[in-house]
Amino acid sequence: MQRRIVDGTLQRGIWSRFSIRHPRGAGRRDAADPPALLHEAVPDLTELTQALATSKHEAQEARQHIATLTEINSRLEQIVTQLAQKEAQARDFAYHDELTGLPNRRLLRDRLKQALAQGARQGKQVVLLLLDLDGFKTINDQLGHAAGDKVLQAVAERLSASIRAADTVCRYGGDEFVIMLPEVDQPSLADAVAAKVRARLGEPRFIDGYEICVTASMGTVVYPSDGQTYEELIRQADAALYCTKTGSSGVSITAFQESL
């Protein structure tokens, strides 16, 4: 009797190891009945397969949405970049001369006001040179405005090459230019720059089959002795320029044959 109990206990233990627990309400089947277990497992496998297929489909849709959003983001970045470039161009046009690329009157005003404030703090001078090309109308009348534009561009390049990095060359309007020299310690600097400008402008330039030589009249003023504000200095520079106009040498135009 004891052995049977022991054997029965052992048998129950063995069967319990291989028994399968089913969901609540589904009952309990012994592992010795595999067809019944397989029959009950098929619906579970079918649902699992369907759920897996649904998950794969949703994952594919998610990847497509991510790709679409990535493309939209890339387009938005391009639009933002283009808008920033247009804004920079608009700002550049607002402060620079379209023909020569030099600062215009608006930018000159801003820089001169800053230079005057800095000069007042540091006790330094600011020099303005107002230039007017002598006889420039002759170039437009004889060679046309296209040639005149090329002369203005050449003048702008030579003026820019005649100054320090901290200085400013501005196309003030028409054939007038302004050179601003901030933080001037020695009055002789203005004379040195004026001499350098005259030498560079005096060099002939060859445009559309013609050798063109131009000169410029200059009016020079110094802050603070000649004025305290932008308006005062420009007005005094214009008056000084008018005085130097008498006896200007004008412009010479000579046809030439380019050497091969």
Helix ranges restricted to H, 96-144 = 105-122, 136-143
Distance CA 235, CA 217 (A): 16
Burial class (CB in 10 A: 0-12, 13-18, 19+), 148: buried
Of residues 175, 185, 191, 238, which has the active-site annotation?
175
Asked if residue 22 lies in contact with residue 40, where contact means CB atoms within 8 angstroms, the answer is yes
Neighbours of 233 (CB within 10 A): 24
Strands 252-255 and 216-223: unpaired
- C-alpha radius of gyration, the chain, whole number: 44
Task: List CB contacts of 180: < 8 A, sequence separation 6 or more.
Answer: 108, 111, 112, 115, 126, 127, 128, 129, 167, 168, 170
Distance CA 125, CA 132 (A): 23
Asked if residue 116 lies in contact with residue 180, where contact means CB atoms within 8 angstroms, the answer is no
Q: Which long-range contacts (CB under 8 A, 24 or more apart) does 49-54 make?
A: none
Residue 130 parent element (H or E)? strand 125-133
Distance CA 195, CA 1 (A): 133
- Whether 175 is a known active-site residue: answer yes
Q: Which residues are catalytic?
A: 175
